[in-house]
Amino acid sequence: MRFRTKRAVAVTAVASLLFAACGGDDDTADAPAPADEPASTDAPADEPADEPADEPADEPADEPAPAPAAELSGTLIGAGASSQAAAMQGWQAGFQAAAPGVTVEYDPIGSGGGRKQFLGGGSDFAGSDAALKDEEWESSKEVCAGDLGAINLPHYISPIAVPYNLPSLDGTTLNLSPEVIAGIFANEITNWSDAAIAADNPGVDLPDLAINPVHRADESGTTENFTDYMAQAAPDVWTYGAIEAWDADGPGGGEGAPQTSGVVAAVAAGEGSIGYADASQIGDLPAAAVGVAGSFVEFSPEAAGRIVDASERTGGRNDYDFKIEVNRTPDSADTYPIALVSYHIVCLEYADQETVDLVKAFMTYVSSDEGQAASAASAGSAPISPEVQAEIAKSIAAISVAG
Amino acid sequence: MTATEQTLTGAPSPSGASPLTAQQLSRASRVGIATASVLIGLGINAVLGEVRWGWVVVIAAPTFVLLTYVASRLVEGQRRAVDRVAAATATMAFLVVMLPLISVLWTVISEGASRLDGTFLTGDLRLTPEDLMAQRDGVAAGGAYHAMMGTLIITGLAAAIAVPLGLFTAIYLVEYGKGRLARAITTMVDVMTGIPSIVAGLFAYALFILIFGPGSRTGIAGGVALSVLMTPVVVRSAEEMLKLVANELREASYALGVPKWKTIVKVVLPTAIAGILTGVTLAIARVIGETAPLLIAAGVAQSANYNPFDGRMTSLPVFTYYQYVQPGIPTEAGVARAWAAALVLVIIVAVLFTVARVLAWILKPAGLR
Amino acid sequence: MPSSTITRATVTRRGDRVFSGLSRGAGIAILVILAGVATFLFVEGRAGIFGDTEEMSGSDSFLQYVGPLVFGTVFAATLALLFAAPLAVAVALYISHYAPRRLAQTLGYIIDLLAAIPSVVFGIWGITVLAPLLTDNIYPWLNANLDFIPFFSGTVSTSGRSMLTAGLVLAVMILPIVTAISREVFLQTPRLHEEASLALGATRWEMIRQAVIPYGRSGVISGAMLGLGRALGETMAVAIILSPSDGYFWSVLTNQNSNTIASNIALKFPEAYGLDVNRLIATGLVLFAITFVVNALARRIANAGFSGADG
């Protein structure tokens, strides 16, 4: 197997490792002209050796990454879920500040495309709203060095809000039970004055207004997670299962708008509209409190973060893999049940030390408190809990060069 | 109206006046008609309730055409009336078309200008945590320098492939082509016009994976994708322009013993050069704003990459698209960058067009200037 | 064809050979590129047409899947052309024959410039500026007064993500290119023809009808064709504006619209998986075929006219 060329050149600390890697057989095919490599090893002056020393002085406060990060260099290529794009901006900023020699590139081409590219050997890691499917995991054994295949790491939890446009409510937060939400999106509840909505909202003066349910026009992990929620929490009403493409597999009707920004704009544009969207992007729109365990909970990052703890790890491919079956009907009323869980998919074994170092350093940063804070700042994500963090740390530690 | 016209067409002279002094709608009466139309528009609006200027215009415009026709018919006769209606309709069509186009342009300029600053023109998207924090406080951060470079490089590559290819094909079709091959090429150029841009992107992506290995996204792949879209536009417009060169010119040249290729280079191409350059700039315009194929073929990068053969390259439309659909927090920062990038693209194209116009003027044979 | 017997009589020079070789080579290169694209589409798309629909999302057969998309594509593009073509010809005439010369050049320049605005921007403009304008002023009125016409029936979209908005935005998008080409052709009308017509006493409009329009017809049609090609294949603007549903919908004011092929690819491709990808590529092949048929028809019409080189 070969990974995409790391063009960049190592600084002193990793130079010897890189040199060893270059001697191997993996790096040759699309590597730069061999002449470059000796040059890099005997000319560390190209990348001033004092750079790592400078850096901490510039940013004394948050220097989260372990010591080696500052000395790393190279390019890490990721591709996949567009849901992670905003979070990735935060991670890239934070990680590249700590490891100035490293460039992390991320193509938000979509989960399916990201997994495909990863399995084709076109990227070092994939971002995906769904864990590797079984047959994909099988083929990951071919692309990853060694025969352990790839693992899923649940690094990004994004609460999905249910925003609505009902100015006449004047700030009152609407309570919606799973059955009502499913009824609305399945076109069974079509007016805001419907008795089922009124039952959840005693004392609220609901307008006599047609409901315009807005859904994603593109295929998306947000739709899949939202419909999965309805399928689990209100299976009698929502009979379409967890779907990615609304117009092909859903109930029809409603309004389709592309991307999160499109859904938010569509809800904002029409009185009586309701939709589902990444909670950080809904702007000034009010979001419904969602029925869970007999009461109603408004979304908050903390409430959404508990969803992974409440869920079960499945798959059992190996100890390091996190494939999560998200439990949408948690027992506790302080867990917000509609959240998108998005993974990073990485190999357990890579062919060369440089990639291993880069992947480990980046994934360690992403799952650290600092990394989670960075994505919370740039994408409004929910932090993964300390327990899950500890588990993930074990998995990351297991990433190694193929023996 | 002239005497010749009357004898030839037998059109009746209105109100029996002498043909040479036939009555014409005076300037004053045309202004009067326009004023009356606006008043009627206002009146109808007022009767129906509040006055909304959009509706006033909507009513006044057809009223103006109608009144002009009636007045002209009475004073100047049928043919003049039709002529006036045609002129009024063309003018009005023009105004109707300019409205949305100016609106688009205005939106781009007004929304984009706020972020068109030094940081935007020289910076890239390799943001630091400080930038992200500053952005939350409403401070401008991040730029599109890398996307500008990407657009110039990718479009340049596309033009470098498509212009010679398209021009020579057009020359072949007009000057040499006969028989099956020419017919096949003509048909295939038609087919090529129909390639959906996203398919061109998929094609280029698949092609370069064969060359550079899996997952490769490069500037050259983007350039090839765009050249696939651009070539047929160049061929069609160049073909059209070459065909319009009068055959007398060619024959005169041949008669002087000038070989065919020299005739083409020295006579045919210079005569058609203004049209061809317009065609080429339109072809560039057609592809410089393409998003879908570049998304697939050239990928996204945070910082500048000058090497089209290695590594991802962001272009301005891709930048615009991503900043709009995934603006991050706060959304205003990303959306402002999106509009600014669109504005930069328009400015780049304006510069290109101006250069093309000037070039066309310089290259045109002196007699045609 | 312009190639004349004179050249054949003269000795073929080396320059001629090289030049004709180059131009013939370019023509053949186009054939090769196209063969490449077609092969790619066919190889990748085959599984989507003939593959097991059990493994794909949605419809039972490829025809069922692609039918509404074909309908939506043709519908949107037809609307766009209906609005754009007459306006574009009128505007081109205005610029070439009515507007003062200096103004005309500036106007032509602005319109060319607009052809370069990315479709993404037209899409964003369409949904943030045009759609609210139409939903506030026009759509409810059409729906209230003309709903006996199937086009205007149904529930009006509250955010304006309807077929009519998409068609209008597409019309605005293709106007510059159709106008630019028509104008260029009208300007090429031989001065002699125009002056002859005027000298015979024709009014300006009669001159245009007798000399300019017949002369430019082929060019106008090929311009409209390019515009139609762009409307058929337009991806991002439609994806941003149109609210898609599965099925055939005639109404142009509602949230329920047949999607277009290109927009469907853009919306589905990133997250598509397995055979769904092949099916999307197969729909690309269908789009390809539609545009080809439209173009072939238009070219036939255009060839029935005349151009300077033939005369």
By the 8 A CB rule, do A279 and A299 touch? Answer: yes
pLDDT score for A181: 93
Q: How confident is the model at residue A127 (pLDDT cuts 50, 70, 90)?
A: very high
pLDDT in tens, A133-167: 888 888 888 888 888 889 999 999 989 999 999 99
pLDDT tens-place string over residues C90-100: 998 888 888 88
pLDDT at A172: 84
Neighbours of chain B (3+ CB pairs under 8 A): A, C
Go through chain C and tell me how many residues it has.
Answer: 311
Taking CB atoms and an 8 Å limit, are C240 and A270 in contact across chains? no
Percent of chain B beyond pLDDT 70? 92
Which of C7, C114, C222 is nearest residue B101 as measured by Cβ atoms? C114
Average pLDDT, chain C: 82
- pLDDT, mean of residues B54-68: 82
Q: What is the pLDDT of residue A391?
A: 87
Looking at residue B339, its pLDDT comes to: 92
Is the predicted pLDDT of residue A3 greater than 70, yes or no? Answer: no
Is the predicted pLDDT of residue A23 greater than 50, yes or no? no
pLDDT at B221: 93
CB–CB contact B128 A97 (8 Å): yes
Burial class (CB in 10 A: 0-12, 13-18, 19+), B262: middle
Of C148 and A343, more confident = A343
The Cβ of residue A119 has, within 10 Å, a number of other Cβ atoms equal to: 23
Output the pLDDT for position B368: 57
Q: What is the CA radius of gyration of chain A?
A: 23
Burial class (CB in 10 A: 0-12, 13-18, 19+), A387: exposed
pLDDT in tens, A274-331: 999 988 888 889 999 998 888 899 888 888 888 888 887 776 677 788 888 888 888 8
* Model pLDDT for residues A335-394, shown as the tens digit of each residue: 899 988 899 999 999 988 989 999 999 999 999 999 999 888 888 888 888 888 888 999
> Is A13's pLDDT higher than 70?
no
Ramachandran angles phi, psi of C175, nearest 5°: -55, -50
> At residue C245, does pLDDT exceed 80?
yes
Distance CA B216, CA A121 (A): 10
Size of interface A-B (CB pairs under 8 A): 103
* Most confident by average pLDDT, A70-84, A282-296, B143-157, C243-257: B143-157
| pLDDT reported for residue C12 | 56
Q: What is the pLDDT of residues B343-353, one digit of tens each?
A: 998 888 888 87
Residues in Cβ contact with C9 at an 8 Å cutoff, skipping those fewer than 6 apart: none
| Tokens linked to B60 | 């006044």
pLDDT, position B285: 80
User: pLDDT tens for residues B193-250?
Assistant: 778 788 888 889 888 888 887 777 889 999 999 999 999 889 988 988 888 888 888 8
Among A261, A284, A355, the residue to mutate for chain B (most B Cβ within 10 A): A261
pLDDT at B352: 81
Residue A210: DSSP 8-state: B
Among C94, C120, C288, beta carbon nearest to B194: C288
Indicate the pTM of the whole model. 0.81
Average pLDDT over every residue of C127-142: 87
| pLDDT surpasses 50 at B12 | no
Which residue of A2, A107, A280 is in closest CB contact with B300?
A: A107
Give per-residue pLDDT as tens, A162-214. 999 999 888 888 999 999 999 999 999 999 999 999 999 988 889 999 999 99
Record: contact B202-C281, CB cut-off 8 A? yes
Q: What is the pLDDT of residue A18?
A: 33
- The DSSP-derived string for C256-284 is -EEPPHHHHHHHHGGG--THHHHHHHHHH
Q: Which of B265, B288, B283 is nearest to B365 (CA)?
A: B265
Cβ separation A255–C246 shorter than 8 A: no
What subunits touch chain C, counting only 3 or more CB pairs under 8 A?
A: A, B
Instruction: Please answer yes or no on whether A93 and B328 come within 8 Å at the CB atom.
Output: no
Q: What is the pLDDT of residues A54-65, one digit of tens each?
A: 434 443 344 344
Domain with CATH 1.10.3720.10 in chain B: 145-368
CA pair distance C57, C277, nearest whole angstrom = 11
**Which residue ranges form the domains of chain C, and what is each CATH number?**
51-310 (1.10.3720.10)
By Cβ distance, the residue of C135, C160, C268 closest to A218 is: C268
Asked whether C173 and C122 are in contact (CB, 8 A), the reply is yes
Residue A126, φ and ψ in degrees, nearest 5: -120, 150
Question: How far is A66 from chain B, CA to nearest CA, in Å?
Answer: 18
| Predicted pLDDT at C53 | 73
pLDDT of B366 over the 90 cut: no
Candidates 3.40.50.1010, 2.40.30.10, 3.30.70.260, 1.10.3720.10; CATH matching B145-368: 1.10.3720.10
